[in-house]
């Protein structure tokens, strides 16, 4: 199979993922920034590290690079609208969005399955993306609930609610 970028995207789309909205405060303006991100992963338990990847063309890339902190909000299946909103270039991504801030100010969105507040410990260039590694400083997670899933370019409902972990 040819390795052109369209085929490569299609191949990678076969990896079903959850969906997050990664947020920060832009130090230059004091305004919140947020981007829909599926390139998120746990990285280490001890110390507690996670990572996510942002494309070089992301408007808020500089804000994330300089903020020093970020939050990862893992979306539930009922939050598809938030995923669409934070993946758009709309002027006012934050209009009507319910959020609070903890220690760093990075927006913690309401009703997510999990929210992780992180300090940025490393950034690395990775091709046309930047990899952000963060240390989880504070978190909140819901017992139960179903995730929003992205697969082959579409959102999927799992159709069941996983039992709470013991
Ligand atoms: C389900 C989904 C997952 C996405 N995952 C990523 C991702 O992991 N990294 C990324 O840079 N952009 C990702 N995007 C695209 C960004 O959300 C989109 O380009 C956004 O507009 C960038 O924000 P900006 O307005 O600050 O440029 C994803 C979009 C969708 C719909």
Burial of 114 (0-12, 13-18, 19+ CB in 10 A): middle
Does the residue 165 lie in any domain? no
Q: Both tokens of residue 72? A: 């990862």
Structural domain count of the chain = 1
The residue range of the domain holding 19 is 5-156
Does the residue 164 lie in any domain? no
Does the residue 16 lie in any domain? yes
pLDDT the model gives residue 162: 65
d(C-alpha 20, C-alpha 166), whole Å: 24
Q: Whose CA is nearest to atom 31 of ligand 1?
A: 87
**Tens of pLDDT, residue by residue, the chain (166 residues):** 678 999 999 999 999 999 999 999 999 999 999 999 999 999 999 999 999 999 999 999 999 999 999 999 999 999 999 999 999 998 899 999 999 999 999 999 999 999 999 999 999 999 999 999 999 999 999 998 999 999 999 999 777 666 666 5
pLDDT the model gives residue 163: 65
Does the residue 162 lie in any domain? no
Q: Are 92 and 30 in contact (CB under 8 A)?
A: no
* Closest ligand 1 atom, residue 52 Cα: 8
Region of residue 38 (phi > 0: left; psi between -120 and 50: alpha; otherwise: beta): alpha
Does the residue 28 lie in any domain? yes
Does the residue 166 lie in any domain? no
- The CA-atom distances, in angstroms, between 28 and each of 6, 17, 60, 62, 64 are 36, 32, 11, 10, 11
Domain of 64: which CATH number? Answer: 2.30.110.10
| Residue 30 CA, ligand 1 centroid: distance in Å | 22
Which protein residues are within 6 Å of ligand 1, measured from CB?
19, 35-39, 53-55, 58-60, 83, 87-89, 150
């Amino acid at each position: 199979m040819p390795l052109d970028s369209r085929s490569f995207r299609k191949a990678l789309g076969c990896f079903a993922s959850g969906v997050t909205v990664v947020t920060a405060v832009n130090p230059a303006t004091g305004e919140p920034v947020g981007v829909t991100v599926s390139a998120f992963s746990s990285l280490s338990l001890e110390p507690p590290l996670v990572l996510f990847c942002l494309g070089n063309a992301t408007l808020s890339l500089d804000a994330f690079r300089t903020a020093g902190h970020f939050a990862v909000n893992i979306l539930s299946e009922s939050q598809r609208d938030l995923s669409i909103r934070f993946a758009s270039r709309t002027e006012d991504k934050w209009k009507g969005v319910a959020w609070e801030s903890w220690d760093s100010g990075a927006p913690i969105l309401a009703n997510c399955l999990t929210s992780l507040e992180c300090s940025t410990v490393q950034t690395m260039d990775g091709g046309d993306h930047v990899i952000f590694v963060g240390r989880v400083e504070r978190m909140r997670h819901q017992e139960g609930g179903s995730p929003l899933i992205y697969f082959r370019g579409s959102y999927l409902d799992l159709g069941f609610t996983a039992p709470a972990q013991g």
